[in-house]
Amino acid sequence: MMKRTLERVLSPQLRNRRTVDIYLPSSYPSGLRYPVVYMHDGQNLSDPSTAFAGTWDLDATMERLAARELEAIVVGVHNTDARLREYSPFPDRRHGGGQADAYLAFLADTLKPRIDRLFRTRPNRDQTIILGSSMGGLVSLYAYFRFPSVFGRAGVMSPSIWFGQGAVLDFIRAAGTPRGGIYLDAGTQEGSATLRDVRRLGRLLVRKGFARRRGSRRQSRPRLRYVEDPGGRHNEAAWARRLESALAFLLE
């Protein structure tokens, strides 16, 4: 992959700046257009010198996917010191937060138009994916239901459903059911509470009309792929191991 970096990207919504890395497929010089994957905690994707807990080994993963004729532009949005606030849809009694609407407005109204202008993207919502883990998984889940005209697919890895006393579940319960799909996972060694919450979310999505069978041809129903990773822990190594499978599902 080829990497481009935008430095000090201004967010008028949050009144701060951050680095954004853009990973272009090796075939990018061909003139093709590509779906776009927006990923949180962008400093952890490929560069050990910026990663704070190990990398997701993104380059190797995307090269393997390219061999399967699955290619995309990946936008790695670095977090800031306000990560917890920006990734949380609802405030938590202990941790505060609740600025996800502003963060997602930055992605949808400021960053995405810039990416679509500078690079050969497929800008429609069916080709726009949002993906993250932990708090990044929580905000990706929320984005899919909160901004359904922008994000058509979501990768929700080990989501921090507990944040905000599980208010995101009530939000989803009351929301409409967008077209598209969700990849949802958790590791079996992340703790009983995390696994319980993710299973609860999976059942809720099925009740909302998500088809759990991989490869469903019923286009009127959004798809769900649910994965429990045996022995998987709450860390970058586990998410990196599952990333190829997640992206393969979301890019199909």
**Domain CATH code at residue 170:** 3.40.50.1820
Residue 221 sits at φ, ψ, to 5 deg, of -105, 135
Domain ranges, residue 208:
2-251
Give the per-residue SS3 of 82-151. Answer: CHHHHCCCCCECCCECCCHHHHHHHHHHHHHHHHHHHCCECCCHHHEEEEEECHHHHHHHHHHHHCCCCC
Note the pLDDT of residue 88.
98
Q: Are 19 and 5 in contact (CB under 8 A)?
A: yes
Note the pLDDT of residue 52.
79
What span, in angstroms and rounded, lies between the C-alpha atoms of 134 and 202? Answer: 16
Task: Show the CA angle centred on residue 30, arms to residues 4 and 5, nearest 5°.
Answer: 5
Please state the domain count of the chain: 1
What span, in angstroms and rounded, lies between the C-alpha atoms of 12 and 110? Answer: 8
- Residue 149: how many other CB atoms lie within 10 Å: 10
Note the pLDDT of residue 216.
46
What span, in angstroms and rounded, lies between the C-alpha atoms of 231 and 2? Answer: 33
pLDDT, block means (10 residues), the chain with 252 residues: 96 97 97 98 93 90 97 98 97 96 98 98 98 98 98 98 97 96 97 96 96 57 94 96 97 94
Q: Are 167 and 140 in contact (CB under 8 A)?
A: no
